[in-house]
Amino acid sequence: MNSTDFLKLRKFVAPEFIFGLGAADLAGQYAVNYEVDKVLLVTDPGVIAAGWAQSVMDSLARAGAAVAVYSGVSENPKDYEVMAAAEVYGAEGCGAIVAVGGGSPQDLAKGVGIISSNGGHILDYEGADKVPIPCPPLICLPTTAGTGAEVSQFAIVTDSVRRVKIAIVSKTTIPDVALIDPELTTTMDARLTAHTGLDALTHAVEAYVSNASSPITDMFALSAIRRVGEHLVQAVAEPRDMAARGGMCLASLEAGLAFSNAILGAVHAMAHSLGGYLDLPHGECNAILLPHVMAANYDCAPGRYDAVATALGVRPDVLAGLDASGRKQALAGAVEDIKRRVGVTRGLGDLGVSRTDIAKLAAKAVLDPCMLTNPKALSIEEVEAIYARAL
């Protein structure tokens, strides 16, 4: 970065957030602050089984707020699920939305807010700054530590006809308040903890090397990378270790603030294609693609990627003694080491991706808006090659 790059015009948006043990108990208090009689609680079956949805409903009931529930949320939320939930919101006379869960319920809740205020179909709002009317109050309580949806201006929804994930980017989708309680993440199993944690790492890395980064997003991104390196392995090994869980929640929050404002890159563009076309798990796709995309991008942002390696624990004196190829390998090694230690060792082929899928996946990925902020302009042939190496 040049010495005057910090003078470039940048915007930073963020919601109010409450962080720490006990934050979830404030759901009712915040709901009644918006002076609504009834809220739509958006969640999924796993969160209901874990007991967190009921816990939040109890908080809402104690505050005197009536609750309608929508729980038909799939892992990659679909356009028709958004529309079904919006119907419930209107039919039940709701005035606010509470999302309890990972990125999927939160993204779906954002979609409900868009439709309830603006009408039409959720796919009408694909792209940036296409949501003219502000959404109703939205309270998010994340039960995973990775997506950053609770503080971001992104809503990701699958177009079920085109089989592609669309991105809706608007400050109107930013939650009014995020209640981030590490206790809610303790029921994640090891696999989900690993996948969501590596999603947070990918958010932070892509935000840091983004061509829309800024000193503010850099601060959050690097801190998030360090925290993932410090806490993810322990959070997977000891799910009740609240220091590790809290560290990962904070990493997810910081990464969310970073990518919401600096946007993302080729990893997410390619993962969105995989999720939309083949309905694959987002966090694991990111984890598989990250080292390969970093290798493809490295020569366009070597100083930035070296800083990522340092944040992951590679000693600066070791990096200083290596040529560019060696530094690139050290970075990949640091990421692969974390992946191995948390049990994420599969390739795309293990998820069912075949070479015959690659052309369609790449064609969709190059059109994803996240490609615009990737540090390198990747051709469709280069994207195909990355998919092939990740099989």
CATH, residue 202: 1.20.1090.10
Q: How many domains does the chain have?
A: 2
Quick one: 105 and 210 in the same domain? no
Could you give the count of Cα atoms lying within 13 Å of 2 in the half-sphere of its Cβ?
5
Are 203 and 58 found together in one domain? no
Q: 148 and 226 share a domain?
A: no
Asked whether residue 2 is domain-assigned, the answer is no
6 lies in a domain?
Answer: no
Task: For residues 172 and 201, state if they share a domain.
Answer: no
Question: Considering the domain boundaries, does residue 1 fall inside one?
Answer: no
When the pLDDT of each residue in the chain is averaged and rounded to a whole number, the result is 96
Q: Judge if 76 and 145 occupy the same domain.
A: yes
Q: With contact defined as beta carbons under 8 Å apart, do 42 and 107 qualify?
A: no
Kindly tell me the sign of the dihedral angle through the C-alpha atoms of 247, 253, 258, 263: positive
pTM of the shown model? 0.95
Please indicate, yes or no, whether residues 81 and 151 belong to a single structural domain of this protein: yes
Domain end marker among 154, 185, 216: 185
Find the CATH number of the domain harbouring 164. 3.40.50.1970
Q: Which of 185, 214, 231 is the last residue of a domain?
A: 185
- 134 and 215 share one domain: no
Residue 10 lies in a domain: no
pLDDT at 11: 84
Rounded to 5 degrees, what angle do the CA atoms 32, 181, 271 make? 105
Any idea what DSSP says for residue 135? P
Position 1 scores a pLDDT of 55
* Neighbouring C-beta atoms of residue 14, cutoff 10 Å: 19
Please check whether residue 5 lies inside any domain of the structure. no
Q: What pLDDT digit, counting tens, does each position of 188-219 carry?
A: 999 999 999 999 999 999 999 999 999 999 99
What is the distance between the alpha carbons of residues 50 and 187, in angstroms, rounded to a whole number? 7
% of the chain exceeding 70 in pLDDT: 99
Are 163 and 194 contained in the same domain? Answer: no
Mean pLDDT of 12-37: 94
Residues 246, 129 share a domain: no
- 7 or 346: which carries more pLDDT confidence? 346
Please tell me whether residues 178 and 221 are part of one structural domain: no
The confidence score (pLDDT) of residue 131 equals 96
Locate 372 and state its tokens.
């615009």
* Tens digit of each residue's pLDDT (9 = 90 or more) over 55-100: 999 999 999 999 999 999 998 999 999 999 999 999 999 999 999 9
Q: Is there a domain that residue 24 lies in?
A: yes
Answer with the one of 163, 185, 207 that is the final residue of a domain. Answer: 185
pLDDT tens-place string over residues 321-330: 999 999 999 9
In a domain, 99, yes or no: yes
Tell me: do 169 and 273 sit in the same domain: no
Query: What is the band of 142 on the pLDDT scale with cuts at 50, 70, 90?
Result: very high
**Which value, to the nearest 10 degrees, does the dihedral of the CA atoms of residues 112, 114, 116, 121 take?**
-90
Residues 250 and 345 in one domain: yes
Report if residue 216 sits inside a domain.
yes
Per the structure, the complete domain to which residue 227 belongs is given by: 190-389
